[in-house]
């Protein structure tokens, strides 16, 4: 057996003891330390951030853009559900504070077998679920067995998206990755896989694989869904009785209004200042800003770039997550002109990424050189880059036979804001003027979001287009494997060499080897120019002045016992 | 009278049946589908196909329609694709909020609109009349969501007099027996809770009432002007009937017929206006939920809600027709 703790060999992740859950920065250690370790808000207030709890209103109200889709994270794949579930549940594997690398959480350490098909987890001692039952190896196996044994409705892709996609199927599926789980000792569990899976440990940091109380799930029929196959209904458990090991317990959910959590008095880690969390549903971005200005909420996410400056100058705390996103301009090679590498190269040289980032993208955004953010394994510092050079772009177009330019469809979505694309209309405007400059006549095609997605993924009927991705967890395949793992309508090209390289990389268990292989693949992609990686936008959050620090995380692993309030 | 009502109710059946067909086709004609909405960037054709298969959206349209209609006739509106709760349950949870909001908006529109319209007609051609006509034009043309944001910015954000979102403050100890928060407060004697709910209603109701208010002002003004010039009013005056009697019995009562029709139509439209208003004020009613359902392509919710709203609209119009007979005896005779 050899130890594999993390994909990235960062010294800070080699520790065996987990931080006392998420409070290692520690309120007691002072706000300065918290800021340094967790990427906290730079408070504009003077004074000490760790005010005594009795002087502080310990209710933290955060505006959510929608209701959660349910309270059982195993059946979710959306950010608003995970925002809540991260406070109620914990997984075996967590995420480094302020980073994206896997870190110990309910498992204090783990070991992988030589062949990468067996993982043994040492579990945290003294942890109980919210229903009072103990967290131990049997509970771990009960969770894995639950996922594996789903059939019918719970196994449908619309329900258990992450398990289905990452574990490749349930009991009876030939491709199923999971084989078995054994409770070796009270606090030692072994999970066996049918084949190696490079992303296994990082994948376990996803909220969908959080540990849930087996007894609560049984009592409230977690998998007993009502309705029919074409109209499933959540179980009683997913509606009102979620039971995890996290620092907050579920209190109430008023659909359309709010979800309320209370501090877990029996939490195994440190509880922190916040005693009550309210997720208030406000789906309109302007309404969220007004609610903050009126003092009705403490903070909200995905602040529009146009609002950040005004809010900051009005004294609100604005902070950016470290980017874990990619925004790109995609080429559909089913379009005759775009199938020509000279044209693709010309467009790549026509784009001024620096100008785009400085003009229309939020502060903290980084210019992209490849389709993965710099923190992800396999990032290639020496990848081929294409500088902004309109003159060269025009020459290349001439060589391709388009000396007088040509007309090109440019698809972009409207009335939508994604973490990687806060303002598609402005991004489109900036890019189209750059393309016009080299003689390409842009034919704008705007679509509402769902129609846009359907147009990009469901048909070849589109031209160059704006799209991107927010990483679910720190795994290279979760970015480039999604984009270029096989033929898709979006990109419209066949490249068997690239497809098979990505398929092979997925099975590598040695982090060094995987890093090197993915660096080569990133170079391969850069040379093929399937699109222009534009930027890694940093999603912004806004808070009122009393929020001294907030555990911003590039992968949204934000747990509110780490929040420091001053009033 | 009862026979007329019976006939109208019978007429509703084919109307609603036709509506179910139109609705079913309309929601499926929307570009993109529930699978694309559920999966977002992950909506590969294979994933979309699997979800469509699971939900039965890959079956022929007529099959899907018959299945839906069969369940509908048994009172089953299906389950929301986004929230995975029964559509009826979602509707029941949110309808009281919208009704409360719409009723207050209607009270504002009628309570202010009719006197203003009447006043404008009385001052016909004078500066006040011109102001009313101009003001009502502004009321009709100003976008509801813009007005809602402006009202909120002024009264909630800048002045801090009223809340920005929701139906009731946190921390208010309130019993919610009926789901109508103001009514609940009055019934249970929790007047603080009723007042608090009312303060939450005020701004959205004001925003929602502007268009109906402006329309009611214009219709009342026009109708009163027409009646003021009628022969029977002139005859009444010539006979020396007291002006108060002429005003109340001759003018107002006769001028009310088109106004009542307008109120009926506006009451139905309030629910569609609530889509925007509720979104701006994060008000947990059916309007905001419907807006979310459109973006999520939540077919069962769209079909169920629109059908329900159509039914409500039809019933309101039936009530308006019935009210004619009380206002105008000639309708009773016919």
* DSSP H or E segment with residue A467: strand A464-470
pLDDT of residue A1: 35
Q: How many pairs of residues across A and B have Cβ atoms under 8 Å apart?
A: 155
Instruction: Considering only the beta carbons, identify the residue of A234, A256, A282 that sits closest to B94.
Output: A256
Q: What ipTM goes with this model?
A: 0.79
pLDDT of residue A214: 97
The answer, for B85 touching chain A at a CB cutoff of 8 Å, is yes
* DSSP H or E segment with residue A318: strand A317-320
Lowest-confidence range among A113-127, A348-362, B153-167, B319-333?
Answer: B319-333
A72 vs A167: CA distance, rounded Å: 18
Looking at the complex, report in whole angstroms how far the Cα of residue B288 sits from the nearest Cα belonging to chain A.
Answer: 9
A229–B54 CB contact, under 8 Å: yes
Residues 198-237 (B) with a CB less than 8 A from some CB of A: none
The answer, for B174 touching chain A at a CB cutoff of 8 Å, is no
* Per-residue pLDDT tens digits for B206-239: 999 999 999 999 999 999 888 888 888 888 888 8
The answer, for A233 touching chain B at a CB cutoff of 8 Å, is yes
A523 vs A537: CA distance, rounded Å: 22
A233–B297 CB contact, under 8 Å: no
In B, which residues are within 8 Å of A454 by CB distance? 31-33, 36, 43
* Per-residue pLDDT tens digits for B98-141: 989 999 999 999 999 999 998 888 888 888 888 888 888 888 88
Which 3-state string (H, E, C) describes A103-114?
A: EECCEEEEEECC
In A, which residues are within 8 Å of B149 by CB distance? 286-287, 290
- B72: pLDDT strictly greater than 90: no
A92 vs A196: CA distance, rounded Å: 19
The answer to whether the Cα torsion of A534, A539, A545, A551 is positive or negative is: negative
pLDDT in single tens digits along all 567 residues of chain A: 333 332 333 233 223 333 444 443 333 333 333 333 333 333 332 333 344 446 788 999 999 988 898 899 999 888 889 999 999 999 999 999 888 889 999 999 999 998 889 999 999 999 999 999 999 999 999 999 999 999 887 887 778 888 988 888 899 888 899 999 999 999 999 999 999 888 899 999 999 999 999 999 999 999 887 766 666 788 899 999 999 999 999 999 988 889 999 999 999 998 899 999 999 999 888 899 999 999 999 999 989 888 888 999 999 999 988 889 999 999 999 999 999 999 999 999 999 999 999 988 988 899 999 999 998 889 999 999 999 999 999 999 999 999 988 999 999 998 888 889 988 999 999 999 999 999 999 999 999 888 898 888 888 899 999 999 988 888 898 899 889 988 888 999 999 999 999 989 888 878 888 899 999 999 999 999 999 999 999 889 999 999 999 999 988 899 999 999 987
Residues in chain B: 334
For the A13-288+542-565 domain, the top CATH level (class) is: alpha beta
Tokens 């920005």 belong to which residue? B164
Instruction: Considering only the beta carbons, identify the residue of A234, A450, A469 that sits closest to B32.
Output: A450
Q: Where are the domains of chain A?
A: 13-288+542-565, 325-536
Q: Are A38 and A551 in contact (CB under 8 A)?
A: yes
In A, which residues are within 8 Å of B30 by CB distance? 450-451
- B40: pLDDT strictly greater than 90: no
Would you give the distance in Å from CA A432 to the centre of its chain?
A: 29
CATH topology match: A13-288+542-565 vs A325-536:
no
H and E: helices and strands count for chain A: 17, 23
**Nearest in space to A3 (alpha carbons), one of A138, A122, A180:** A122
A474 vs A522: CA distance, rounded Å: 16
B265 vs B177: CA distance, rounded Å: 30
B43 vs A490: CA distance, rounded Å: 11
Which residue of A lies nearest to B51 if distances are taken between CA atoms? Answer: A158
Torsion of CA A138, A144, A149, A154, to 10 degrees: 120
Looking at the complex, report in whole angstroms how far the Cα of residue B297 sits from the nearest Cα belonging to chain A.
Answer: 8
B166–A482 CB contact, under 8 Å: no
Using only C-alpha atoms, what is the Rg of chain B?
A: 24
The CA-atom distances, in angstroms, between A203 and each of A288, A421, A481 are 32, 24, 14
Bridge partners of A412, per DSSP, are A446
Residues 297-326 (B) with a CB less than 8 A from some CB of A: 297, 300
Which residue of A lies nearest to B299 if distances are taken between CA atoms? Answer: A231
* Mean pLDDT along residues B6-32: 85
A227–B79 CB contact, under 8 Å: yes
Of B47 and A89, more confident: A89
The answer, for B39 touching chain A at a CB cutoff of 8 Å, is yes
Instruction: Considering only the beta carbons, identify the residue of A157, A450, A482 that sits closest to B36.
Output: A450
List CB contacts of B191: < 8 A, sequence separation 6 or more: B185
A256–B284 CB contact, under 8 Å: yes
* Per-residue pLDDT tens digits for A202-213: 999 999 999 999
The answer, for B70 touching chain A at a CB cutoff of 8 Å, is no
Query: Which domains, ranges and CATH numbers included, belong to chain B?
Result: 2-73 (no CATH), 87-333 (1.10.3720.10)
Instruction: Considering only the beta carbons, identify the residue of B32, B83, B288 that sits closest to A453.
Output: B32
* CA angle in degrees (0–180, nearest 5) for A417-A159-A502: 70
**What's the CATH code, domain A325-536?**
3.10.105.10
B117 vs A386: CA distance, rounded Å: 68
The answer, for A262 touching chain B at a CB cutoff of 8 Å, is no
For residue A312, count other CB atoms closer than 10 A to its CB: 16
Chain mean pLDDT for chain B: 85
| Full-model pTM | 0.82
In A, which residues are within 8 Å of B167 by CB distance? 257
* Long-range interactions of B225-233: CB distance < 8 A, separation 24+: B225/B121, B225/B124, B226/B255, B227/B251, B227/B254, B227/B255, B228/B121, B228/B124, B230/B254
Q: Are A503 and A517 in contact (CB under 8 A)?
A: no
pLDDT of residue B333: 52
Instruction: Considering only the beta carbons, identify the residue of A256, A450, A454 that sits closest to B289.
Output: A256
CA terminus-to-terminus distance, chain B: 10
Q: 3-class SS at A59?
A: strand
Residues 289-318 (A) with a CB less than 8 A from some CB of B: 290-291, 293-296
A255–B54 CB contact, under 8 Å: no
B74 vs A546: CA distance, rounded Å: 54
Which residue of A lies nearest to B157 if distances are taken between CA atoms? Answer: A294
A450–B38 CB contact, under 8 Å: no
Residues 265-284 (B) with a CB less than 8 A from some CB of A: 279-282, 284
Residues 52-71 (A) with a CB less than 8 A from some CB of B: 59, 66-67, 69-70
H and E: helices and strands count for chain B: 15, 0
Q: 3-class SS at B324?
A: helix
Instruction: Considering only the beta carbons, identify the residue of A156, A257, A290 that sits closest to B152.
Output: A290
* Mean pLDDT along residues B80-95: 87
* Per-residue pLDDT tens digits for A243-295: 999 999 999 998 888 999 999 999 999 889 999 999 999 988 889 999 999 99
List CB contacts of A490: < 8 A, sequence separation 6 or more: A330, A332, A456, A457, A462, A465, A467
């Amino acid at each position: 057996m050899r130890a594999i703790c993390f994909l990235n060999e960062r010294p800070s992740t080699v520790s065996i003891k987990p931080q006392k859950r998420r409070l290692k920065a520690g309120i007691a250690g002072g706000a300065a330390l918290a800021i340094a370790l967790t990427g906290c808000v730079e408070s504009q207030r003077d004074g000490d951030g760790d005010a005594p709890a009795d002087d502080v209103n310990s209710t933290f109200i955060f505006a959510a853009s929608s209701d959660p889709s349910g309270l059982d994270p195993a059946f979710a794949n959306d950010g608003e559900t995970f925002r809540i579930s991260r406070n109620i549940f914990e997984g075996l594997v967590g995420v480094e504070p302020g980073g994206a690398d896997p870190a110990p959480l309910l498992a204090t350490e783990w070991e992988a077998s030589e062949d990468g098909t067996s993982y043994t987890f040492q579990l945290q001692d003294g942890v109980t679920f919210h229903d009072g039952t103990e967290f131990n190896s049997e509970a771990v196996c009960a969770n894995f067995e639950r996922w594996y044994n789903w059939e019918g409705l719970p196994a449908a892709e619309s329900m258990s998206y992450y398990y289905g996609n990452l574990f490749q199927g349930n009991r009876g599926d030939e491709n199923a990755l999971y084989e078995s789980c054994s409770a070796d000792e009270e606090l030692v569990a072994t999970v066996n896989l049918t084949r190696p899976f490079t992303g296994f440990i990082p994948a376990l940091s996803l909220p969908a694989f959080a540990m849930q109380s087996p007894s609560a799930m049984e009592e409230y029929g977690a998998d007993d869904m009502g309705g029919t196959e074409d109209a499933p209904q959540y179980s009683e458990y997913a509606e009102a009785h979620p039971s995890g090991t996290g620092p907050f317990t579920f209190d109430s959910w008023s659909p359309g209004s709010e979800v309320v959590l209370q501090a877990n008095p029996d939490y195994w880690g440190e509880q922190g200042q916040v005693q009550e969390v309210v997720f208030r549903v406000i789906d309109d971005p302007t309404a969220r800003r007004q609610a903050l200005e009126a003092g009705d909420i403490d903070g909200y996410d995905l602040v529009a770039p146009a609002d950040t400056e005004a809010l900051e100058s009005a004294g609100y705390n604005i902070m950016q997550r470290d980017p874990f996103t990619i925004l790109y301009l995609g080429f559909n090679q089913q379009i005759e002109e775009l199938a020509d590498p000279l044209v693709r190269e010309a467009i790549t040289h026509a784009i001024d990424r620096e100008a785009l980032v400085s003009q229309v993208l939020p502060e903290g955004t980084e210019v992209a050189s490849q389709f993965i953010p710099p923190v992800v394994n396999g990032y290639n510092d020496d990848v081929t880059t294409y500088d902004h050079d309109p003159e060269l772009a025009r020459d290349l177009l001439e060589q391709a036979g388009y000396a007088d330019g040509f007309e090109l469809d440019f698809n972009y979505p409207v009335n939508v804001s994604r973490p990687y694309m806060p303002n598609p209309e402005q991004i489109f405007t900036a890019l189209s003027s750059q393309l016009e400059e080299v003689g390409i006549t842009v034919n704008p095609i705007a679509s509402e979001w769902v129609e846009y997605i359907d147009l990009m993924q469901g048909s070849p009927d589109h031209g160059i287009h704006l799209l991107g991705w927010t990483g679910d967890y720190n795994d290279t395949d979760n970015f480039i494997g999604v984009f270029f793992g096989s033929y898709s309508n979006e990109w419209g090209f066949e490249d068997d060499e690239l497809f098979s390289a990505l398929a092979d990389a997925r099975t590598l268990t040695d982090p060094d080897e995987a890093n090197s292989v993915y660096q080569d693949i990133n170079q391969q992609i850069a040379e093929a120019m399937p699109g222009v990686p534009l930027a890694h936008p940093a999603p912004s959050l806004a808070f009122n002045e009393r929020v001294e620090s907030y555990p911003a995380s590039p992968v949204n692993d934000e747990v509110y016992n780490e929040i420091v309030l001053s009033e | 009278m009862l026979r007329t009502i019976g006939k109208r109710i019978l007429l509703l059946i084919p109307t609603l049946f036709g509506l179910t067909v139109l609705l079913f086709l309309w929601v499926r004609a929307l570009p993109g589908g529930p699978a694309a909405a559920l999966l977002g960037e992950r909506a590969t054709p294979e994933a979309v196909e699997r979800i469509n298969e699971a939900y039965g959206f890959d079956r022929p349209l007529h099959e899907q329609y018959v299945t839906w209609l069969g369940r509908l006739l048994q009172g089953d509106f299906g389950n929301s694709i986004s929230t995975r709760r029964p559509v009826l349950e979602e509707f029941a949870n949110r309808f009281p909020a919208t009704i409360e909001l719409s009723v207050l908006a209607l009270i504002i529109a009628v309570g202010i609109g009719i006197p203003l319209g009447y006043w404008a007609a009385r001052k016909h051609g004078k500066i006040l009349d011109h102001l009313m006509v101009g003001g009502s034009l502004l009321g009709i043309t100003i976008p509801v969501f813009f007005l809602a944001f402006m009202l909120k910015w002024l009264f909630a954000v800048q002045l801090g007099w009223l809340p920005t979102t929701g139906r009731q403050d946190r921390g208010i100890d309130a019993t919610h027996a009926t789901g109508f928060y103001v009514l609940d407060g009055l019934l249970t004697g929790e007047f603080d809770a009723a007042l608090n709910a009312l303060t939450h209603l005020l701004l959205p109701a004001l925003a929602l009432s502007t268009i109906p208010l402006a329309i009611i002002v214009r219709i009342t003004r026009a109708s009163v002007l027409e009646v003021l010039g009628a022969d029977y009013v002139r005859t009444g005056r010539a006979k020396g009937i007291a002006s108060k009697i002429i005003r109340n019995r001759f003018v107002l009562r006769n001028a009310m017929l088109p106004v009542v029709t307008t109120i009926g139509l506006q009451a139905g439209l309030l629910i569609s206006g609530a889509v925007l208003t509720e979104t701006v004020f994060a008000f947990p009613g059916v309007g905001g939920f419907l807006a979310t359902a459109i973006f999520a392509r939540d077919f069962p919710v769209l079909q169920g809600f629109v059908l329900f709203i159509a039914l409500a609209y039809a019933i309101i119009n039936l009530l308006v027709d019935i009210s004619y007979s009380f206002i105008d005896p000639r309708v009773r005779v016919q």
